[in-house]
Structure 1
Amino acid sequence: MTGRDKERQGGLAMHDFDGYRTLGQPHEPVDEREAGALLVRDYGLDGARLTRIATERDDTFAVTVQGERSPRYLLKIEHPAEDYGTVRMRARALRMLERRAVNVPVTRLVPCSDDGMIARYDAGGRTRWATLTTFVPGRIVSSLPGRPSPALLAGIGDRLARIQRVLADERGYADRLGRILWDVRLLPAIAQDVLPMIDDATARRAIEQAAATYESVAGHIDALPQQLCHGDFHPGNITVRDDRPDEIAGIIDFGDMHMMPAVCDLGTALCYLVDDVLADPLEPCRIALAAYLNVNPDFDRGLLPLLMPVMQARAALVVLLPLLAERRSGTSPEHYLFRPESRIVRLRLLQSLSDGASDSFAGA
C-alpha cells in the first residue's frame, strides 16, 4: 500500500475499494471446453478432464491428466478485473516459496510450455490471466472430525511464520488498500455499509463492538511496517494426509495475498483456531502462537495485545462478507468455511474472552 493510501484510509468508504467493485462486475464463465483448449495451447496438456470448483469470482478447475484418476493440477482463470501485476505477484510469491521454503508444502506453480509463469486467455474482447498449480493432496483440516491436535496446531503456527519470512522479501508489488476485502483494516467501512442488512439486534451490536474495538488500535496498526502476507491462512486452506493427521500435507489458496502488517496475518490465522468446547478456548491459539514465535523470535512481543482486536475484526468480516458477496455477485453464503449460524457465535465468544482482559496472550 502506498503512503497516499495510508493517508486516505480514514476517509475511504467501501464503494472506493477495488474489491467491492470487482464483486459487482459480472463476467462470462469459462466452460470446460474452453479451459481445456487453454491447457493444450499453453501447457501441452491434451485430453485432460476438468472439474469446476466453486469460487467467489474466478473460474477454477481441478485438472486430471489422461490416464490418471485423481487431479494433478489446478487451473485458475482470473476475473477480468484482476490485473496482470497482481497475478504476476502471486506467481512470483509461489516461486519464491518453492525455492526458499522447500519444506513448506505449498502448492507449486507449473510453468507454461514456453517456461512463462502466466497464460493469457482472450474472450469476448477481454483479456484474462491464468495460472496452473499443483493440486495439493490430503483432506482439508476444517472438514476433519474432532479438533486439531497440538502437533497440528504447532505446525500451523510454524508454517505461517516460515511463509511470512519468505514473502517479506517480495517488495516489487505496489498494493492498493481495498483490493482484498478480507483485509481486517477495512472492517469499519464494511460494517458501516453491510450492517443495515442484518436484522438481528444482538448480531448488530457484536459487529459494532468489533468495529469499535478495531478502531481503538487502528492508529497503531496503520503505523506498522507492511509486508506481503498469505492473508487467508486457516484450516480451510490446509490439508493433512489420512495416515498422518498431525502433519500438514499442503497449503493452498494464495489468492488473497496482500500487503499488511504481519500481526494482522497472524491474528487472522488465530481467529479460526479458537475452540468454544475447551475450558480455555484460546489454548489452540496459544499453541500455534508459541510455534510461530519459535520460528520468528524477532517478532515484537509488544504487538501481542493487538491480536485480539484483529481476531475480532476477522470474525466480524466472516459474518459480513458472505452477505455482501451474496448481494453483489450472487455467491451463496454456504460457500464459506463456517455455517451462517456459527459465524456470529465465534465473534461473540472472542469478545467474551477479551472482556476484562488487558492481554489475552500475555506471556507468549
Structure 2
Amino acid sequence: MMHQHAHTEAAALSTAAPALAPADLQALACALYGIEGGATALGGERDQNCLIDGGDGMRYVLKVSNPAEAPSVVDFQIAALEHVARVAPALPIPRVVRTVGGRTRERVCLDDGSVCIVRLLTYLDGVQIKETARTSGQRRAMGGLLARLNLALRDFTHPGAHHDLLWNVSGAHRLAAQLEDLVDPARQRLAQRFMTRFERDVLPRLPQLRAQVIHNDYHLYNVLVAPQEQERITGIIDFGDMLHAPLVGEVGTAAAFHMAGSEDPFAAAAQFLAAYHAVLPLTDAELEIVTDLMATRHLITALISEWRAARYPHNRAYIMRHNPAAWEALAMMADLSRQDARDRLLSEIRPRRTP
C-alpha cells in the first residue's frame, strides 16, 4: 500500500490513459479548435497525447487528460505556461491554444462515461537531446535555461500547485513500501540503502529550504535542440509533472539525467549544475544535499517504473525508458561516500583543494 496522502497521484498513475482512436482525436481538434488535420500518437505516462498537423504549417499537441487527473491540476499547468509566456516570452515553451469559444480547456465525456479534460498546445520543433551527441556546451545551455525557467516561475502561485505527486523527490519516503516489490534481493538492498540515506540526511532539512513551482521533469527527452545547432535549445516540453516543491529538488532531478552517457558521470552533471548555479545560485544548505537528491531521483525512477511496468505491460517501453540508467547510477553512487559524491558534483563550483 502507498502512503495514504499519495493516493491522488497514485490514482492517476493507476488509471489507464485514455485511448481514443485517431479519428476521434481529429474530430475533437476540429470541433473544439476548428483545426482539421491528421493525428499522430505521441508518448505519455498518464495522459493521451497526439500531434495534430494543421496542414497550414502549424502543428499542435492535443492532450486528453487522465480521467483521474484533478481539473485544478490541469488548470495549474495551463496557468503556469501562460505566466511564463508573459514574464519571460523568450523562453522556448509551448503556448496554450484557446478553443473556438475562447477557453483554455474543455471537458469531454468518453464512451465509457469517464470525463476527461482536453487542451491544445503549440508543437515545438527540434530534436530531443536524447538523440544527440552530448557536449559540455549543451549541458551548460541546459543548466542555464532551467535556471531562467525557475526564475520565471519564482513568483507564480496557483491553488493546484500543491497537488500530490509521486514524482517529487522531496516525498521519496512515501515509496518505501515499493521496496518490498523488488524481486532482486541485491537491488532491494541497494534501494533500501538510498531510501535510508534520504530519510536520515535529506528529509529533515527540506522544510527549511526555499520552495516554488518547478518543472520537475527536465530531462533529455523533454529538452529540444536545433538539428544543425545542437547546443541551441529550441524547446522545453512536458510540463505535466510541475508542482510546488523545494527548488533544490528541481536541480537534483535534472542533474541526475546527466550521469549517463559520459566517461565521468559526475563531470557531466557538474557542468550542468555550475551553469545553473551561475544564473540562479543555490544556497550552502541546498548545495549540501543536491547530490543526495540526484540519487533520490534515480531511486524513485527505479521504484515507480518497476511498479507501473508490472501493471501496464503494453506501455512498458515508455515506462521503463529511464530504469536501466537509474539502477546503474545507484550502483555507482553506492561505492562513494556522501562527501566524495558531493565534492565531485560541486567540483566546478567549489574546486577541491589539493593536499
Q: Is TM > 0.5 for Structure 1 vs Structure 2? A: yes
Q: 1:202 is matched with which residue?
A: 186
Matched residues in 1 for 2:320 and 2:312: separation? 18
SS at match of 2:342: coil
Displacement after TM superposition at 1:348 (Å): 1.6
- Equivalent residues of 1:23, 1:329 under 8 A apart: no
Matched residues in 1 for 2:322 and 2:117: separation? 32
* 2:96 counterpart (92, 101, 109): 109
Distance 1:359 1:56, change over 3 A: closer
* 1:308 counterpart (288, 291, 294): 291
Please show how residues 8-23 of structure 1 align to structure 2 within 5 Å. Answer: 13=3, 16-23=6-13
Q: 1:73 is matched with which residue?
A: 60
* 1:96 counterpart (75, 83, 88): 83
Once the two structures are superposed, residues 30-59 of structure 1 have per-residue CA deviations (whole angstroms, 9 ceiling, x without a partner) of: 22222222211221112x100112322211
Please show how residues 262-281 of structure 1 align to structure 2 within 5 Å. Answer: 262-275=247-260, 277-278=262-263, 280-281=264-265
Matched residues in 2 for 1:35 and 1:314: separation? 34
- The list of structure 1 runs, each at least 4 consecutive aligned residues, that deviate by more than 6 angstroms after superposition, is none
Gaps (5+ residues) in structure 1? 1-11
- Equivalent residues of 1:274, 1:281 under 8 A apart: yes
Displacement after TM superposition at 1:172 (Å): 2.3
Matched residues in 2 for 1:266 and 1:165: separation? 13
Q: 1:6 is matched with which residue?
A: none
Once the two structures are superposed, residues 60-106 of structure 1 have per-residue CA deviations (whole angstroms, 9 ceiling, x without a partner) of: 111111365xx711000101111221111111111111122222211
Please show how residues 183-222 of structure 1 align to structure 2 within 5 Å. Answer: 183-190=168-175, 192-216=176-200, 217-222=202-207
Displacement after TM superposition at 1:159 (Å): 1.1
* 1:250 counterpart (224, 235, 240): 235
1:166 equivalenced with 2:152 (yes/no): yes
Q: 1:36 is matched with which residue?
A: 26
In structure 1, give the amino acid aligned to 2:335.
Answer: S
Displacement after TM superposition at 1:174 (Å): 4.5
Matched residues in 2 for 1:151 and 1:173: separation? 37
- Equivalent residues of 1:325, 1:331 under 8 A apart: no
Distance 1:174 1:288, change over 3 A: same
In structure 2, give the amino acid aligned to 1:80.
Answer: P
Please show how residues 328-339 of structure 1 align to structure 2 within 5 Å. Answer: 328-330=311-313, 332-336=315-319, 338=321
- Equivalent residues of 2:73, 2:160 under 8 A apart: no
Gaps (5+ residues) in structure 2? 351-355
Matched residues in 1 for 2:219 and 2:17: separation? 29
Residue correspondences, number: 345
Distance 1:170 1:339, change over 3 A: closer
* 2:127 counterpart (131, 136, 139): 139
In structure 2, give the amino acid aligned to 1:20.
Answer: A
SS at match of 2:221: helix
- Equivalent residues of 1:334, 1:340 under 8 A apart: no
- Equivalent residues of 1:76, 1:132 under 8 A apart: yes
Q: Name whichever of 224-233 and 28-37 sits farther off.
A: 28-37
In structure 2, give the amino acid aligned to 1:40.
Answer: C
Displacement after TM superposition at 1:343 (Å): 2.8
**TM-score scaled to structure 1, two decimals?**
0.87
- Equivalent residues of 2:301, 2:323 under 8 A apart: no
Distance 1:276 1:111, change over 3 A: closer
- Equivalent residues of 2:292, 2:338 under 8 A apart: no
Distance 1:320 1:286, change over 3 A: same
Q: 1:8 is matched with which residue?
A: none
Matched residues in 2 for 1:268 and 1:330: separation? 26
- Equivalent residues of 1:141, 1:240 under 8 A apart: yes
Displacement after TM superposition at 1:330 (Å): 4.1
SS at match of 1:235: coil
Q: Name whichever of 223-232 and 18-27 sits farther off.
A: 18-27
